[in-house]
Amino acid sequence: MSTASRPSSKEAKPAPRSDPASQKKIRVLTLKLGLDGHDRGVKVVSRALRDAGVEVIYAGLRQTPEMAVEAAIQEDVDGIGISILSGAHMTLIPRVLELLKERAAGDIVVFAGGIIPDDEAAELKTLGVAEIFGPGTSLATIVDFVNGRLRK
Amino acid sequence: MSLAASLLQGDVRALAKAISLAEDRDPEATQIVTELQPQTGRAHLVGITGPPGSGKSSLVDLLLQVIRQRGKTVGVVAVDPSSPFTGGAVLGDRIRMQRHTLDKGVFIRSMGARGHLGGLAAATREVIHLLDAYGRDVIIVETVGVGQSELEIGTVCDTTILVLVPESGDAVQSIKAGIMEIADIFVVNKADLGGAEKTRRLIQDAMALGAAPAWPPPILLTAAVKDQGGVELWQAIERHWEYLSQSGGLQDRRLQRLKQEVLALVSEQARDDALRAMEGDTPVARRLRQNPNGKLNPYALAAELMGRAS
Amino acid sequence: MALRSKPSREESESRPGRAGHAPKAASTISGVPVGALYTPEDLGAFRYDEKLGDPGEFPYTRGIYPSMYRGQLWTMRQFAGYGTAEETNRRYKFLLSQGQTGLSVAFDMPTLMGYDSDAPASEGEVGRCGVAIDSLQDMEDLFAGIRLDQITTSMTINSPAAILWAMYIAVAEKQGVKPAQLGGTLQNDILKEYIAQKEYIFPPEPSMRLVVDTIVFASRHMPRWHPVSISGYHIREAGSTAVQELAFTLADGMAYVDAAIKAGLDVDEFAPRLSFFFNAHIDFFEEIAKYRAARRLWAHIMRDRYHAKNPRSWMCRFHTQTAGCSLTGQQVENNISRTAFEALSAVLGGTNSLHTNSMDEVLALPTEKAAQVALRTQQIIAHETGVTNTIDPLAGSYFVESLTDEIERGALDYFKRIDEQGGVLACIENGFFQREIADAAFRYERELEAQERIVVGVNAYQEGARAEVPTLKIGFETERAQAKKVRALRERRDGTSVRNRLTALQAAARGQDNLMPVLIDCVKAYVTEGEIMATLKEVFGVYREPTIL
């Protein structure tokens, strides 16, 4: 699978926005799993989602899979966006998927970004991760994904 | 099993889903809350308000520590502003309470104000009822803290706490009219930074101007990020609860709260109806469209819409 | 910002320029406006002695040494580390054999965050983005067969820096090398962790105490060692502009100087050993201007604000690393070019030490081949391009001098704003730095979306075969082996000795004494990093970040 890249023409479609006045909002939990502290990406994505009408619950750095899943359930989110650059994704992300299943919350959409090699991304997708966004993915792509896949 | 029944059994997902229905203003939420009403009325409702940057979330985090040590369960509702342009929000209060994430005795829900003016979300009252029915001993509502928002919290909670920080001089002078009256407890947070005593005295002076109240609001100093002052604050909150219980104040507040809730529901409904009437496929909307210069009498129009409101 | 530069003749005559480009409002990647043409007018009343001076002379704009690369090339210091100490030891020997002149250690996340390889928090993380070091035993293996008196070593570690330094000193001792003979650098810049990299553990106050302890220890016992590498690299990687990178880094520098002076040192006792670490991003001339402005600013700060008397205290010596965040995962071979341009800007900017990124680093840790190409890039610049034949070749350029002045002005403006808010620690607390950086990062991302900025292969020129780039894989065997190793260590060592050392450490941490001696004692008894950190966490507490999005 190829990582998503930016549209090269200037007529990129604007992402569909949820009606600001409507009361139904897409809710997404964003966080970093593991010890890595580089939060530039997760913060930029969180802002972009907010600008697209999403309610983003930013859970921050150094979250464990247990913390991520508990927060996701309490906040009744539609999706969890995980940023991970340390290489620990093959340990930590499957644990999140496992825990979601155990808590009967497998309907929550899990997506991830960061440094994840293609073959491991493919494996994560077979385990249940909906999408992996590699370096250079445009914000529009991520916003489209959230608005499309997580729509209530 | 119905959502309400699961909720009563302690199913946290059911609680979370019921809250979402309330947030989405789904009519099912009304049914659920109605069904659960007999189970409500037990919890102590504590509101925390104050300007941005005063450290409200850190203070809640500290209180959670203290409350849990005393074996009580807590529900936290943290409201943050939503963008008026995009409708989205970044809700960043939870992150400051994250040491409690895995504690089953703490439930934290982040809410966007979703266009509601007043510091709370439209759904906050329903969410409080749900947490109450779920069995939480204490429910803490943390508000946005901008504009006139501090005032609404007083209509929703038993105990209202106003959090300030020591600033160069005019912290107290800048407090808007009405705030001093609704606060049951004052907290000067970030007291480790200096200037806290001065702020405390300013508050005392401001209070001395009015008539002596039956419950003189205590003024406490805390340094939430250093875990200082939490015990004293909780003790003040408990003393206030006792005072309310013994003085009949609790009943008064609950009656007021019911009226406010009815008012809020009526306003919301009336507003929704009026919007639909003015923007939908209705004679009123057509008349509006035929008068793009806005040359219609707003009073007549309002009276007409209220007459129409079912 | 008054730009006196003229529009190009085509622009001013409203004639269409030649095919393709007529950037209307051009700016650097950081948003600094760039005019079409610079002329002598732009320099105005430029005074050479005041603005530049000769290399090796105040204010050192042209370089801190009189002969710069004509006398000695910059140190080619490639950051490396992964897996176990043995594996990294092999990579070091390879790099040294290929002509690298200094070592630079990359540690894995558990080591950076103070956890042993068998701790629950370390699961999945061991050896993945650096070498796993749990104890002195691993440090011994890391430098096996490498004489520490014959190389210099830079260690990229922050919160636990003092501990790893203690291990290095202990390894040297076993080789018969005294501390005073050791040359190298400890990154040990905790302030930028709060601001950008987020590898903090303790709160600011005790963290500063640890840094000051290392500065004092170095000034007394290790005259060849740089105890702090005050870093802008990470601030830039987090998304800041060039001006922010420069300003926040130098402000951090001033905070360390203040702290060391407060601890009783005379400024000249330690300032000559302070060093800096900057990013080399892709906007070629902006970076060159930034380095020159850095030297000029620091010289004035040290002489005029801190009244340092020793000229070596006035010198901003720095290491540079090419920008990781400028590399792409698409068409990775292009990264070789990017790194080359960035490295060239660092050299033209007078860096004292340089790391060039490998082309595959967006995807994983570098393969041996990619790491070799990165090193060769520096060697080509040094030996083939001729840019080292003369010192500070761009001096006097109407453009480069204007840009240097502009960047300097931007930094001075930030110094004022930081002072107004009460200094660096106050700004960390109120989130000023984090907000500026997050805003700049978001702005840049929006520019990419709108194609106001082009990144080749990413939002333009996306056609290109997706080559299969071999990447380095770290398996789980490393984690298993390392966990086993540290557990075995704990079994064999003298438990009483360990307990005594930790008790002594706890007492020292609660007190005021310099912690270096007691840390050296601890590591010699094979107390593990995790054990030391746990004890220190008990005493110092842990930091909770005021979250700024």
The DSSP secondary structure of C264-311, one letter per residue, reads T--HHHHGGG-EEEEEE-S-HHHHHHHHHHHHHHHHHIIIIIS---SG
Can you give the CATH number for the domain in which C319 is found? 3.20.20.240
Q: Is B246 on the interface with A (CB under 8 A)?
A: no
Q: Do A17 and B86 touch (CB under 8 A)?
A: yes
Q: What is the pLDDT of residue C25?
A: 67
Which residues are CB-contacts of C472 (< 8 A; sequence separation ≥ 6)?
A: C82, C360, C364, C365, C366, C367
Does residue C23 fall inside a structural domain? no
- Whether C147 and C255 map to the same domain: the answer is no
Q: What is the pLDDT of residue B169?
A: 44
Q: Is C544 on the interface with A (CB under 8 A)?
A: no
Give the residue, B148 or B217, on which the prediction is more confident: B217
Inform me whether the pLDDT recorded for C428 exceeds 70: yes
DSSP helix, strand, coil percent of chain C (3-state; round to 5): 50, 10, 40
Q: Do B95 and C430 touch (CB under 8 A)?
A: no
Inform me whether the pLDDT recorded for C504 exceeds 50: yes
Q: Is C292 on the interface with A (CB under 8 A)?
A: no
What does the domain layout of chain A look like in residue ranges?
27-149
Contact indicator for A7, A138 with CB cutoff of 8 Å:
yes
Inform me whether the pLDDT recorded for B197 exceeds 50: yes
Inform me whether the pLDDT recorded for B282 exceeds 90: no
Mean pLDDT of B45-51: 91
Mean pLDDT of C404-420: 97
Q: What is the pLDDT of residue A22?
A: 57
Residues C28-63: pLDDT tens digits?
Answer: 999 999 999 999 999 988 999 999 999 999 999 999
Residues C248-270: pLDDT tens digits?
Answer: 999 999 999 999 999 999 999 99
Q: What is the pLDDT of residue C10?
A: 58
Inform me whether the pLDDT recorded for C458 exceeds 50: yes
Average model confidence (pLDDT) across chain B: 88
Q: What is the pLDDT of residue B11?
A: 96
Contact indicator for C377, C485 with CB cutoff of 8 Å:
no
- Of B23, B84, B90, which has the smallest distance from its Cβ to A46's Cβ? B90
Domain with CATH 3.40.50.300 in chain B: 41-247
Contacts of B114 in chain A (CB under 8 A): 23, 25
Res. B211 pLDDT band, cuts 50 70 90: confident
Q: What is the pLDDT of residue B150?
A: 61
Contacts of A37 in chain C (CB under 8 A): 193, 197-199
Q: What is the pLDDT of residue B208?
A: 78
Q: Do C328 and A136 touch (CB under 8 A)?
A: yes
Q: What is the pLDDT of residue C12?
A: 54
Contacts of A58 in chain B (CB under 8 A): 90-92, 95
Across B107-121, C346-360, C497-511, least confident range: B107-121
Number of structural domains chain C divides into: 2
Contact indicator for B134, B15 with CB cutoff of 8 Å:
yes
- Whether C233 and C359 map to the same domain: the answer is yes
- Whether C277 and C310 map to the same domain: the answer is yes
Residues C190-199: pLDDT tens digits?
Answer: 999 999 999 9
- Whether C404 and C477 map to the same domain: the answer is no
Mean pLDDT of B254-258: 90
- Identify which of C394, C548, C313, C542 has the alpha carbon closest to the alpha carbon of residue C38: C394
pTM of this structure: 0.89
- Identify which of B150, B164, B104, B152 has the alpha carbon closest to the alpha carbon of residue B128: B152
Give the residue, A14 or C167, on which the prediction is more confident: C167
Record the tokens describing residue C379, joined without a space: 């060697």
- Whether C340 and C234 map to the same domain: the answer is yes
CA C133 to CA C107: how far, in whole Å?
Answer: 7
Q: Is C159 on the interface with A (CB under 8 A)?
A: no
Record the tokens describing residue C380, joined without a space: 């080509």
Residues A86-113: pLDDT tens digits?
Answer: 889 999 999 999 999 999 999 999 999 9
Across B43-57, C242-256, C517-531, least confident range: B43-57
Across A63-67, B199-203, C295-299, C439-443, least confident range: B199-203
| Greatest mean pLDDT range, B288-292, C500-504, C545-549 | C500-504
Inform me whether the pLDDT recorded for B212 exceeds 80: no
Mean pLDDT of B187-204: 86
- Provide residues of A within 8 Å CB-CB of chain B: 17-25, 27, 46-47, 49-60, 63, 66-67, 70-71, 73-76, 103-105, 152
Closest CA–CA distance from residue B217 to any residue of chain A (Å):
34
Closest CA–CA distance from residue A91 to any residue of chain B (Å):
20
Q: What is the pLDDT of residue C392?
A: 97
Q: What is the pLDDT of residue C17?
A: 46
Q: What is the pLDDT of residue C78?
A: 85
Does residue C193 fall inside a structural domain? no
- Whether C297 and C333 map to the same domain: the answer is yes
Which residue out of B96, B102, B167, B192 would a mutagenesis test of the C interface target, given it has the greatest number of C Cβ atoms within 10 Å? B96
Res. B193 pLDDT band, cuts 50 70 90: confident
CA B51 to CA B199: how far, in whole Å?
Answer: 15
User: Which chains touch C (3+ CB pairs under 8 A)?
Assistant: A, B
Backbone angles phi, psi at C321, to 5 degrees: -125, 135
Q: C422 to chain B: nearest residue by CA?
A: B193
Record the tokens describing residue C460, joined without a space: 């333009």
- Which residues 86-145 on chain C approach chain A with CB closer than 8 angstroms? 109-110, 112-113, 115, 121-125, 128-129
Q: Name the DSSP class of C194.
A: I
Across B12-16, B178-182, C312-316, least confident range: B178-182
What is the number of other CB atoms lying within 10 angstroms of the CB of residue A84?
A: 25
- Whether C59 and C81 map to the same domain: the answer is no
- Of C125, C442, C466, which has the smallest distance from its Cβ to A86's Cβ? C125
Q: Do A75 and B16 touch (CB under 8 A)?
A: yes
Closest CA–CA distance from residue B106 to any residue of chain A (Å):
10
Q: What is the pLDDT of residue A13?
A: 34
- Whether C61 and C90 map to the same domain: the answer is no
- Whether C93 and C157 map to the same domain: the answer is yes
Across A90-94, B48-52, C153-157, C425-429, least confident range: B48-52
Contacts of B96 in chain C (CB under 8 A): 544, 547
Across B206-210, C6-10, C161-165, C226-230, least confident range: C6-10
% chain C with pLDDT above 90: 84
Average model confidence (pLDDT) across chain C: 92
- Measure CA B259 to chain center: 16
CA B115 to CA B121: how far, in whole Å?
Answer: 8
Residues C235-247: pLDDT tens digits?
Answer: 999 999 999 999 9
Q: What is the pLDDT of residue B146?
A: 58
- Whether C214 and C83 map to the same domain: the answer is no
- Whether C296 and C414 map to the same domain: the answer is yes
Which residues are CB-contacts of A144 (< 8 A; sequence separation ≥ 6)?
A: A15, A16
Give the residue, A29 or B26, on which the prediction is more confident: A29
Across B94-108, C183-197, C362-376, C435-449, least confident range: C362-376
Q: What is the dihedral of CA C185, C191, C192, C198, to 10 degrees?
A: 110
Does residue C195 fall inside a structural domain? no
**Count of pairs with CB atoms under 8 A, one residue in A, one in C:** 112
Domain B41-247 has CATH 3.40.50.2000: no
- Of C430, C547, C549, which has the smallest distance from its Cβ to B96's Cβ? C547
- Of B16, B87, B108, which has the smallest distance from its Cβ to A20's Cβ? B87
Mean pLDDT of C354-383: 90
Structural class in CATH, domain A27-149: alpha beta
Contact indicator for C546, C429 with CB cutoff of 8 Å:
yes
CA C116 to CA C121: how far, in whole Å?
Answer: 9
Q: Do C545 and A92 touch (CB under 8 A)?
A: no
Does residue C435 fall inside a structural domain? no
Contacts of A71 in chain B (CB under 8 A): 94, 101, 108
- Provide residues of C within 8 Å CB-CB of chain B: 430, 544, 546-547, 549
- Of B58, B90, B225, which has the smallest distance from its Cβ to C549's Cβ? B90
Q: A59 to chain B: nearest residue by CA?
A: B95
Tokens 């009403």 belong to residue: B37
Q: What is the pLDDT of residue C234?
A: 97
Number of H helices, E strands in chain A: 5, 5
* Domain with C536 in it: 77-186+450-460+471-549
Closest CA–CA distance from residue C394 to any residue of chain B (Å):
46
Q: What is the pLDDT of residue C6?
A: 66
Contact indicator for B109, B117 with CB cutoff of 8 Å:
no
Inform me whether the pLDDT recorded for B158 exceeds 70: yes
Tokens 């923007």 belong to residue: B279
Q: Is C471 on the interface with A (CB under 8 A)?
A: yes
Radius of gyration (C-alpha) of chain B in whole angstroms: 21
- Of A35, A90, A117, which has the smallest distance from its Cβ to C471's Cβ? A117
- Whether C253 and C366 map to the same domain: the answer is yes
Inform me whether the pLDDT recorded for A120 exceeds 70: yes
Give the residue, B264 or C269, on which the prediction is more confident: C269
